[in-house]
Amino acid sequence: MDLILRKQNEVLPPKNTTSVLDINRYLLSGQTPKDPFQDWLDTFQFGLFHTVEPTPSSPMKDDDMKQRVREIDHRINKHFIGNKYPGFKNKMDRFWLMGFFEDGHRGRLTRHLHLLHYIPYDQVNVKGSKSFQRNMVKNHFQFLWSSIPYTTYLNENRPVCPLHIETISTKKDSVSVSRYSSKEIHQQRNYDDIFFSY
């Protein structure tokens, strides 16, 4: 919980950081209050929605998915913003992703990952409409996901698990996918299932 609150304070502009998320004294340690957290997510306009679906034929551990997402986030920032991005004090000036792990259900045998992808349109070095920029980022993310080899900690090469990407063009759609992704964060088994890419 402390990590989530620290990350939220780093992302939100200073004027919005107070009382956005207060720890409810009736919650268990580590639990995230769902309604205020989702209200906070509603303040962002996410540009892409990714779903990573490990399968029995191409499994991937949670830590490996996190590391892969962080590496791709770094490469996306470098490609579309440049080497200056790590020095940005305002996290809204760079790309970042927020991940939500979810257990399999309705016949799904494996755990999967939902990613909300924030795009800083004003910083992108590719000119064009927001729709064009979103598609450029989407295509580059897909290329990186497929082209970076997946090597386990035992030095085994494995197939990369499937990735599905949808563009988010409206604020209403952004709210819908962020609420869908965060629907189970209040449950005890999901306390540690949220992460940021930076």
Digits of tens for pLDDT over the chain (198 positions)? Answer: 444 445 455 554 443 433 333 334 344 455 568 889 899 999 999 999 999 998 888 888 889 999 999 999 999 999 999 999 999 999 999 999 999 998 866 545 578 999 999 999 999 999 999 999 999 999 999 999 999 999 877 888 888 999 999 999 999 999 999 999 998 876 655 556 788 998
Angle between helices 171-181 and 34-41 (to 10 degrees): 150
Domain span at residue 61 reads: 2-8+34-196
Per the listing, tokens 């780093």 go with 10
Inside any domain, residue 52: yes
pLDDT at 23: 39
Residue 19 lies in a domain: no
Residue 177 within a domain: yes
In a domain, 25, yes or no: no
Q: What is the pLDDT of residue 18?
A: 33
**Total number of domains constituting the chain:** 1
CA-CA distance, 71 to 62, in Å (whole number)? 14
The model's pTM: 0.81
Q: Is 21 contained in some domain? A: no
Residue 160 lies in a domain: yes
Alpha-carbon torsion angle 74, 78, 83, 87, nearest 10: -50
Helices (H), the chain: 2-11, 34-41, 62-80, 130-147, 171-181
Could you tell me if residue 22 is inside a domain? Answer: no
Tell me, yes or no, whether 114 lies in a domain. Answer: yes
3-state DSSP assignment of residue 148: coil
